Amino acid sequence: MRRRYPLSKVWAWVFLSVAGLITVFPFLWMLSASVMQPHEIFRPGVNLVSEQPTLANYATALTKAPLLRFLGNGVIVTVAIAVLQLAVIVPAGYAFARLRFRGHRFLFLLVLAALAVPAYVRAIPNFLALSSWGLINTYPALVLPFIGSAFGVFLMRQFFRQLPGELIDAARLDGCNTGQLIWHVLLPLTRPALAAFAVFSVVSHWNDFFWPLVVIRTTRMYTPPAGIAFFASADGGENWGVIMAAGVIVITPLVLFFLLARRQFVASLAQSAVKG
């Protein structure tokens, strides 16, 4: 039988290895520069490995910028967003998947329309609304605009539709009301789906750079991306070792989280891909 792939496996390995090296290089470079002495960074030539590794950059980074505060802000904001999103998208997704009511089609079209509205178009009115409510530079300003996730409603509808209808009928016959049905029957069954959405939500909002720049005024309220970018530009490019150390501190929690929750994250992306 003939081979299925044009090039031999060796070439595929070579390609993947080279591409993989380029992909991880910035991470390695950040890590290696974060333990370098200043004179090593400024020495001409390609210096990848420090001869006298030091953790001084990390100590300096932690004292010069409120990095732990950035991380804490990131946790507060992303957890609040994910929890509140689930609280509103689960009932809505269930209604669209399982209930019949007037205006079903129209309301679902509205959800699809909301899906098409990019963050930049909402930015100015959202900013004006939040500032008229006196919420600029607060956690609610970072959380409120993202609770009504059209993507989440859409995803939950897909998941609820896949559940067998007999199960719901049986629960109904046993006298469950809608609340009990969602809480005792559907939620346990959809836990993987909820986890997938939560991971997706946490990763995308943790990484969001644009919105914190818009609504946050003081350094102490920044989430990690805005915090590290502010720190890097305030420094003026003199202490790259310290900036890289700050980068490592800011990026490590999410990278670990991603590696642990990778399956859920990729699953939620693939799900959206297969379903269109």
Partner 1 sequence: MVQGLTQQETIGASASRRTPRLRWLGPYLLLLPAFAFIAVFVFWPVIYSVYLSLQDWRLGFGSSRFVGVRNYVRLFSAPDFLNALRVTVGYTLVTSCGSIVLGLALALAIQHVRRLGSAWQALFFLPVASTMAAMAVVFRFMFDTHIGVINAVLTRIGLDRVDWLNGDLTAFAAVVVVGIWSSAGYAMVLFLAGLTTIPENLHEAAALDGASSWQQLRFITLPLLTPTTIFVVVILTLRSLESFDNVKVLTDGGPLGATQVLSHLLYIEGFRYFNTGYASALATVFFVMLLVVAIVQMRAERWVHYE
The CB-of-79 to partner 1 minimum distance in angstroms stands at 17
For residue 76, the minimal CB distance to partner 1 (Å) is 17
Residue 35 or 111: the one with the smaller Cβ distance to partner 1 is: 111
State the Cα angle at 64 between 61 and 67, rounded to 5°.
Answer: 60
Q: Which residues contact 110 (CB under 8 A, 6 or more apart)?
A: none
DSSP per-residue string spanning 256-275: HHHHHTHHHHHHHHHHHHHH
Q: How far is the CB of 83 from partner 1 (least distance, A)?
A: 13
Q: Minimum distance from CB of 243 to partner 1 (Å)?
A: 6
Encode burial over 139-175: b for 16+ CB neighbours within 10 A, e otherwise.
eebbbbbbbebbbbbbbbbbbbeebeeeebeebeeee
CB closer to partner 1 out of 209 and 220: 209
- Both structure tokens of 132: 């008229």
Q: Tokens 């953790």 appear where?
A: 55
Q: Is the distance from CB of 146 to CB of 127 less than 8 angstroms?
A: no
For the bound state, the minimum distance from the C-beta of residue 237 to partner 1, rounded and expressed in Å, comes to: 7
Going from the C-alpha of 250 to that of each of 180, 190, 236, 246, the distances in angstroms are 41, 32, 19, 6
Residue 174 Cβ vs partner 1, minimum distance, rounded to whole Å: 17
- Measure the CA–CA gap between 227 and 212, rounded to whole angstroms: 9
Question: What does the alpha-carbon distance between residue 168 and residue 178 come to, in Å, rounded to a whole number?
Answer: 10
Q: Where are the beta strands (DSSP E) in the chain?
A: none
Nearer to partner 1, 2 or 164 (CB): 2
Measured from the CB atom, is 123 or 168 closer to partner 1?
123
Nearer to partner 1, 196 or 226 (CB): 226
Q: What's the closest the beta carbon of residue 59 comes to partner 1, in angstroms?
A: 19
- The DSSP symbol for 186 reads I
> Which residue number, 107 or 189, has a Cβ lying nearer to partner 1?
107
The C-alpha atoms of residue 143 and residue 21 are separated, in whole angstroms, by: 37
Nearer to partner 1, 174 or 238 (CB): 238
